[in-house]
Structure 1
């Protein structure tokens, strides 16, 4: 089974890129972030025509998450991260597919640091930890997948010394990421490429993609009950070079259940 994540940075504006990648990569399950479209403007017909069913939670102008499945039924669990009923930002959707819990997330950016956006990010992370701890305690096969807006380690960013006070690289958020791993969640891409430089995002400015001045922000974390099935994975970095592409590239793993 091939499971992928892709921050599309505007699903309607970049729909041709998404459809081209789906045809090329043929993933079984895809989690999308940053739809930047209200619920009624999700391009369901085009997604269906490409061979995928979908559940999604859109939001006008910003945010928005979706889960696509090629052949397997999607059973929606929830479309908001528990713990704060006043949080209306569309950043989380959870479903069961083939007896796996798929948690698609678009974690808050948090910039500028310090400030209310960073405080919101820390609160979101607290709630996220509570949910992931429950999944571990229930001993469920689960996948935490999406744009985490967290750079886990210095090797995950070009010139890390420039990022010390950026909300993506602050010690507070990196600590939470380490805590997830300590609880048993497995960073699939880092497990497969323990010594390699791996990036998933390249800014549009300063020819960052051409210089490979990137960041690793998009992650696929597996619960301990799926770790043994991890076969392969990677980043489709060439997609970042396509015309009118997102500033993120798709990330994928191959899993044997």
Structure 2
């Protein structure tokens, strides 16, 4: 079973990039972030032509937005993260498919909106931790993939790429990320590549050519899925194409096994 995540930075602009990635990698589930469209504007027919059913959670005003593309049967079980009833931002989708639960997230950046914006980021992470703990307590095979907007350690960003005051590297952000893992989740990429400098994001301009990147797109796995983890790779091809997203896909493969 192959799961992937890709912040597309406008899904309607990246249909060709997505088509090439789907044909090359053939994920069973692909979670998208930063759709920048409302739900009805999702280009579902383009993906159906490639054998993928799409389900989008867009946002009024064309901000944020998450989606799943699937070539296997799935059921959408949640379109929002529990914990704040008045949170209208489109940042979470969870599906049941292939005997597992998988969530796609677009975690708040935290650099806009001053301290209120940063506080929202930390609250969102605390809400996610509460959900993770609930899934772990019920022994649910659970994966959380997406744009976390956190560089967990210094090895996850090019030297000098961000100032220490940036919300992606502030100590509170890193502590909140560790709090997601501590109950029993595994960072899939670091489980298989513990020391390599591997990035999933490069700012526009010369950053990609100079490899001044960040690792902010992650896949966290429950113990049941960690045991099945066969590979975790970053596909840099979409970032090297013309008019790319500033992110590139992260892909994991799970061996077959009982849920």
Taking structure 1 as the reference length, the TM-score comes to 0.96
Preserved contact between residue 113 and residue 167 of structure 1 (Cα < 8 Å)? no
8 Å contact kept, 2:161–2:213 = no
Alignment-derived partner of residue 107 in structure 1: 107
Tell me which residue corresponds to 2:228: 229
Cα deviations by residue, 1:125-170 (Å, 9 ceiling, x for unpaired): 1111111110110110000100000110001001258431000111
C-alpha contact (below 8 Å) 1:95/1:103 kept by paired residues: yes
What RMSD, in angstroms, separates the aligned Cα atoms of the two structures? 1.3
Match of 1:250 in 2: 249
* Aligned-pair CA distance for 1:113: 8.0
Q: Distance in 1 between matches of 2:182 and 2:162?
A: 27
Distance 1:18 1:105 in 2: 18
Aligned residue for 1:69? 70
Q: Does the CA contact (< 8 Å) of 1:96 and 1:102 recur in 2?
A: yes
Aligned residues: 255
2:31 alignment partner in structure 1: 31
Alignment partner, residue 42 of structure 1: 42
CA distance in 1, matches of 2:161, 2:211: 17
CA distance in 1, matches of 2:30, 2:148: 16
Gaps of 5+ in 2: none
Correspondence for 2:156: 156
Range 16-25 or range 89-98, more displaced: 16-25
Q: TM-score, normalised by structure 2?
A: 0.95
CA distance in 1, matches of 2:186, 2:249: 19
Q: Give the Cα separation in 1 of the matches to 2:100 and 2:214.
A: 28
Unaligned runs of 5+ in 1: none
Matched with 1:178 is: 178
Instruction: Give the conservation status (yes or no) of the 8 Å contact 1:112–1:167.
Output: no
- 3-state DSSP class of the match of 2:219? strand
**1:122 to partner: Cα distance:** 1.0
Q: Give matches, 1:125-164, under 5 Å.
A: 125-160=125-160, 162-164=162-164
The alignment partner of 2:208 has SS state of helix
Using the alignment, how far apart are the partners of 1:63 and 1:132 within structure 2?
22
Q: Distance in 2 between matches of 1:31 and 1:196?
A: 24
Structure 1 residue 61 displacement after superposition: 2.0
Moved over 3 A (4+): none
